Amino acid sequence: MMSPHTRPRRRALGLVAGAATFTLVLTACSGGTRVGETTQESAAPEASGAEAGLGDVEGTLRIAYWGSGPRVDLTNGVSDLFVAENPGVTVEPESADFAAYFERLNVQGSSGNLPCVPQMQGRQLASYATQGALMDLDPLIESGAITVPDIPEEVIDTGRGPDGGLYFIPYGAAYDAVEINATLAEQAGVGLPEEGYTWEDFGEYITEAQGSLPEGIAAANLGGGLPNYFIAWTQARGEEMFEDDQIAFSEETLAEFWTFWEDLRNAGATSTAQQRAEEPPQTEQRYVAQGKVMLDSVPGNALTPGQATLSGLAPGQELTTVAMPSGEGGSGNVLFTSGWAISANCDNVPTAAAFIDFWANNDEAAALFASNNGGVTNTRHLQQQLDNPELPALKKHELELYQQVIEAKPPTVSYPAGYQANFETAFNRAYETVSLGGTSPEDAAAAFIAEVNAAFGAQ
């Protein structure tokens, strides 16, 4: 009898051979991209003296940004303008929602496969800059490959990493604002806070409004877990947020911030801790856009979509935004800029530089993009957009408030590596131990600072 193994073994060999061929064929005709293979070699010649970033503008340029729907169209529209001006260039865009975008960028970054021109924001910058994933752009500005005559110095500085190197050129600057349901505020007889109001005024304003608001509507959304409120709190006191990758504000500052919100919450002037904990993050689902609270802190550009939602749910009610509270230490308003960086593994630096330069200076591109991702940083473009009679009223308000913020010389906050992962989520959690768990603000502040400093130290 024939051994039962002989035939199958031969067939098995055939199968393996077949599978191997299949894989080889796939590899050969896949037509896929492999980027970053020349990471080490190509990174070397850039940034050398006076010619840094200068050269032929041609070839393929991979760019990546966050955004959806309208912003994708606008960003790709600007790319088309760039291509029209530079024949021979192909722009390959990659986009995703903010959270998904950074999830992907993390993986790409750790694999040496970053897009040539990734979009960056100050809060994430350090995580990439300290890993050597991004190129220092100062030499490119010196050589003239990128020109930024119309962007204010303090705005450019928001693109600097912890080592002082310039890692992205901000094209749009978002600011946080206090969004107020003006209709409700009018009904409650409190109107709007006056320009330059302090945190103390803010607390009184909320308490006073609560007295005459309809049943079931809180004057303010509970804000103790919102890092951006706290940043405004420290800036108003003239304190630094971070220094040498550690927390620089004092325990008392944080404890007083949480006490401020706890007092309001206990007085019934805010949404409850439970309501706040289950609030979804999308602009349209926020309580202030739903007409459930009178005010909340939101990004300045959330006004238009927020109003669209409110108009559907509570017709006739109007939202507006005012600057964040300030104090003796200065303006509480900081900028959250978005801009373009060049990755260290980019093998087409001249084109990348030209692309960034185009965003920073081209009038047509700025008019098309119309400050879709924060107010345009180029002051000439900002004036052009404000002068445009077709600018929608809410957008005009957003840009005017932005101009007001800029004129107050906003302080720059430099975020340590791992800020988003270690600080932002922990901040809300720490406040929840106060608002939901009953820990005292002092204890929670001490525990939070120790925890975050340890996490930063481990970066």
Q: Which is nearer to other proteins, 96 or 386 (CB)?
A: 96
Angle 69-85/349-361 helices, nearest 10 degrees?
A: 110
Q: Does residue number 73 form part of the binding site for other proteins (CB under 8 A)? A: yes
Is there binding between residue 146 and other proteins (CB under 8 A)?
no
Q: Is 131 in the site for other proteins (CB under 8 A)?
A: no
Residues contacting other proteins: total by CB under 8 A: 62
Q: Determine, following the binding rule CB under 8 A, whether residue 351 of this chain makes contact with other proteins.
A: no
Q: Is 383 in the site for other proteins (CB under 8 A)?
A: no
Task: Compute the distance between CA of residue 118 and CA of residue 96 in angstroms, rounded to an integer.
Answer: 12
Does the footprint of other proteins cover residue 288 (CB under 8 A)? no
Which residue, 71 or 380, has its beta carbon nearer to other proteins?
A: 71
Answer yes or no whether residue 281 interacts with other proteins by CB under 8 A: yes
Note whether 388 binds other proteins by CB under 8 A. no
Stretch that binds other proteins, among 88-96, 382-390, 410-418, 424-432 (CB under 8 A): 88-96
Give me the DSSP letters along 300-349. GGGHHHHHHHHHHHSTT--EEEEPPPBBTTB----EEEEEEE-BTT-S-H
Stretch that binds other proteins, among 82-90, 100-108, 260-268, 407-415 (CB under 8 A): 100-108
Of the candidates 375, 389, 282, 380, the one whose C-alpha atom is nearest the C-alpha of residue 336 is: 375
Residues near 410 by Cβ (< 8 Å), separated by ≥ 6? 154, 175, 331, 333, 334, 335
Interface with other proteins, residue 98, by CB under 8 A: yes
Report d(CA 285, CA 309) in Å as an integer.
Answer: 8
99 binds other proteins (CB under 8 A): yes
Report 211-230 residues binding other proteins (CB under 8 A).
Answer: none
Min dist. Cβ of residue 308 to other proteins (A): 5
| Residue 93 in contact with other proteins, rule: CB under 8 A | yes
Binding mask 313-332 for other proteins (x = CB under 8 A): x-------------------
308 contacts other proteins (rule: CB under 8 A): yes
The 389-418 site mask, x for binding other proteins (CB under 8 A), equals ------------------------------
Residue 195: name the closest of 401, 410, 406 by CA. Answer: 401
- Judged by CB under 8 A, the residue of 92, 239, 252, 443 near other proteins is 92
Nearest to 173 by CA among 410, 356, 423, 416: 410
* Pairwise CA distance, residues 404 & 407, whole Å: 5
Interacting stretch for other proteins, rule CB under 8 A, among 162-170, 189-197, 275-283, 407-415? 275-283
Residue from 38, 48, 110, 266 touching other proteins (CB under 8 A): that is: 110
- Is residue 429 involved in binding other proteins (CB under 8 A)? no
Give whole-number Cα distances, 12 to 9, 18, 19, in Å.
5, 10, 10
Which range binds other proteins by CB under 8 A, 43-51, 98-106, 178-186, 193-201? 98-106
Dihedrals phi, psi of 177, to nearest 5 degrees: -135, 165
b/e per residue 13-23 (b: at least 16 CB within 10 A): eeeeeeeeeee
Number of Cβ within 10 Å of residue 364's Cβ equals: 13
Give the nearest distance from C-beta 36 to other proteins in angstroms.
7
Beta strands in 115-267 (DSSP E): 117-121, 168-181, 218-220, 242-243, 246-247
First to last CA, the chain: 67
Phi–psi pair at 221, nearest 5 degrees: -75, 140
Residue 250 binds other proteins, judged by CB under 8 A: no
* Total residue count of the chain as it appears in this document: 459
96 belongs to the binding site for other proteins (CB under 8 A): yes
Question: Which token pair is 389?
Answer: 């009679």
312 binds other proteins (CB under 8 A): yes
What is the C-alpha to C-alpha distance for residues 266 and 272, in angstroms, rounded to an integer? 9
From residue 3 to residue 32, the character string flagging contacts with other proteins as x (rule: CB under 8 A) and all else as - is -x--xx--x-------x--xx--xx--xxx
Q: What is the number of alpha carbons within 13 Å of residue 425 lying toward its C-beta?
A: 5
Q: Which is nearer to other proteins, 66 or 199 (CB)?
A: 66
Residues that bind other proteins (CB under 8 A): 4, 7-8, 11, 19, 22-23, 26-27, 30-37, 64, 66-73, 76, 92-100, 103-104, 107-108, 110-113, 174, 281-285, 290, 299, 301, 304-305, 308-309, 311-313, 372-373
